[in-house]
Structure 1
Amino acid sequence: MITNPDNVMRPDDGDAIRHTLRLTQERAGLPVVFGGQVRDGVLHLLQFVGVRTTAMRGLDIRSGAGLGGQVLARRRPAAVADYRSAESITHDYDAAVAAEGIRSIVAVPLVVSGTVRGVLYGASRGSAPLGDRATTAMVDASRQLAGEIAIRDEVDRRLKLQQAVAADMDLLGSRIAAEEVRQVHAELRVLAQDVGDGALRDRLLEASRRLAGLGTAAEPDASSPLSPREVDVLAQVALGCSNAEAARRLSLLPETVKSYLRSAMRKLDAHTRFEAVITARRRGLLP
């Protein structure tokens, strides 16, 4: 089970818990160790070392229920000398514990950045309380594992930040590229009106027509309802130009620009200048 399905590079935290449990069993001489991860406020027991049955495997421990639930709720270690007769805990899971035959248990929370991410257990089948050595080993193991998981979390955070920045840069690059295409398109149309060579003018207009089809699924509308001058005006409006600015760039009077714009809006069935620009882009008349 992958802790973070969005990050295939991150090792499974469950494997880290199992490895920690094995080391702790050897160091503390505990007959049985087990544990699990917390998801959505519920502790799922999935890692076991030294068990004889599958009675506890897959148990879901609710906050406040049993020894593990108490640790989950209070976020601090707890222990019982005889699980079945302990008065300090609820007995929701007695059947599974009895089937495994364990009695003396210590449970330690795995706390990462103030949140309980799991619980580690050490247990024996005798009723004598587990000694300080076992409890200390469990607490130390939990702290070390919490530090490792915190590092993994930080790596995940930085990777996500890097991916977000890269996505923003891609988006910014796309916007800059689109704006550059629109600038070139508008300039080509202005140049076409200024040249006296008819063949060159046609080549410039053809280049602008091809630019208009970039970035859209629509093919340039060969039967455009707009006149060349109406396209010229809309190209300037698409750059954010006012009527006066468009007039200056196109060497026209502001009233003439306004007239062309009104005509283009009417032909495109647009109610505003910006709606006209959007409609023209959808029809492949503007980039």
Structure 2
Amino acid sequence: MSTGSAVLRPRDTDVLRAELRQLATRGGIPVLFGGEVHGDGLVLSEFVGTRTGLLRGVVVRPSSGLGGASMVAGRPLSVADYRNASTITHDYDVPVLSEGIGSVLAVPVVVDGVARAMLYGAYRSKAPIGGRAVDLMIDSGRRLADELRIRDEVDRRLRLREAHAASAVSPEVIREVYAELRRLAADAEPGMRNQLQRLAEQLAGDPRPEQVSLTPRERDVLAQVALGCTNAEAAERLSLRPETVKSYLRSAATKLGTGTRFESVSRARLRGLIP
């Protein structure tokens, strides 16, 4: 039944067991059992009031027995005389009758149209299960369904967050790649230069409509400064003279309306010129 992280999500079996125990206390139903649906089979794993261990681990297939029929129908079903019931198959007579069970109610725990678990309540007499017991079991099935639905949604959101975190690239890495693409483009042949520059601009994003126009070299220099490079380091990486780097920074600052190299980097980022 569990579809999320085995670490973060509590065991669904535990909440199923708790519901059965609560039913035993409130409903006075002598025999209670249930289990989770795995694939196309229901595995009986939780028991209250049973005398033998013959039901433990029994796998109930769709449409087989009372539980299989209820699982497929998606609604509660019952029989007042299990041994002689003609509306169900009798694939599980040995473990059921060995418990002395006479009447049985099966309640599916349905989440988004799919049975995720089953609850059974039984008497050892051949009498219809009373209205109060039926209501209590149906309420338990609904509570379980609501709990599982909430757990599923929590798991879904956690998986989305984890997937986003796994696929996200840090801004620092983007800036390093952008700067390197710009540096390579500066020394590349015209065809390759255009391709590298297009890749770099994809990292930077779409420019704003009111965008100022910076020359390729002004962007190259700002990209290096954005990585924390000094003028001398930027000059070495771009095969320029330090004075030339200063000149590009001054012209970029004039266009951007900034007073310092760091303000130029900040405003260029805001306007989508560099990442």
TM-score (norm 1): 0.64
Q: Which moved more, 1:99-108 or 1:88-97?
A: 99-108
Q: Tell me by how many angstroms 1:174 deviates.
A: 4.4
Q: Tell me by how many angstroms 1:86 deviates.
A: 0.7
> Which residue in 1 is equivalent to 2:75?
76
What secondary structure, in the 3-state scheme, does the structure 2 residue paired with 1:85 have? coil
Identity of aligned residues (%): 43
Residues 166 and 72 of structure 1: CA distance in aligned 2, closer, same or farther (over 3 Å): same
> Which residue in 2 is equivalent to 1:186?
184
What is the rounded CA distance, in whole Å, between the counterparts of 2:40 and 2:81 in structure 1? 26
Deviations 1:71-121 (A, max 9, x none): 011111011112111111100000111122212110111011221111100
Q: Which runs of 4+ in 1 moved over 6 A?
A: none
Q: CA RMSD in A?
A: 2.6
What is the rounded CA distance, in whole Å, between the counterparts of 1:121 and 1:170 in structure 2? 51
What secondary structure, in the 3-state scheme, does the structure 2 residue paired with 1:20 have? helix
> Which residue in 1 is equivalent to 2:193?
236
> Which residue in 1 is equivalent to 2:163?
164
Q: Which moved more, 1:169-178 or 1:107-116?
A: 169-178
What is the rounded CA distance, in whole Å, between the counterparts of 1:164 and 1:5 in structure 2? 13
Equivalent runs, 1:109-148 vs 2, <5 Å: 109-148=108-147
Q: Is the 8 A contact 2:4 2:156 kept in 1?
A: no
Matched AA of 2:64:
A
> Which residue in 1 is equivalent to 2:12?
13
Q: Is the 8 A contact 2:5 2:155 kept in 1?
A: no
What is the rounded CA distance, in whole Å, between the counterparts of 2:56 and 2:97 in structure 1? 13
> Which residue in 2 is equivalent to 1:60?
59
Q: Is the 8 A contact 1:7 1:156 kept in 2?
A: no
Residues 173 and 134 of structure 1: CA distance in aligned 2, closer, same or farther (over 3 Å): farther
Equivalenced residue count is 201
> Which residue in 1 is equivalent to 2:258?
none
Matched AA of 2:159:
K
> Which residue in 2 is equivalent to 1:263?
none
Matched AA of 1:236:
R
Residues 82 and 164 of structure 1: CA distance in aligned 2, closer, same or farther (over 3 Å): same
Deviations 1:49-71 (A, max 9, x none): 11111101111111111000010
Residues 125 and 167 of structure 1: CA distance in aligned 2, closer, same or farther (over 3 Å): same
> Which residue in 2 is equivalent to 1:213?
none
**Structure 1 position 51 matched with structure 2 position 50:** yes
What secondary structure, in the 3-state scheme, does the structure 1 residue paired with 2:168 have? helix
Matched AA of 1:140:
D
Matched AA of 1:112:
V
Q: Is the 8 A contact 1:120 1:142 kept in 2?
A: yes
> Which residue in 1 is equivalent to 2:232?
none
Q: Tell me by how many angstroms 1:164 deviates.
A: 2.0
Matched AA of 2:55:
M
What is the rounded CA distance, in whole Å, between the counterparts of 1:74 and 1:18 in structure 2? 23
What secondary structure, in the 3-state scheme, does the structure 2 residue paired with 1:126 have? coil
Q: Tell me, which stretches of 5 or more residues in structure 1 are unaligned? A: 191-230, 242-247, 251-287
> Which residue in 2 is equivalent to 1:210?
none
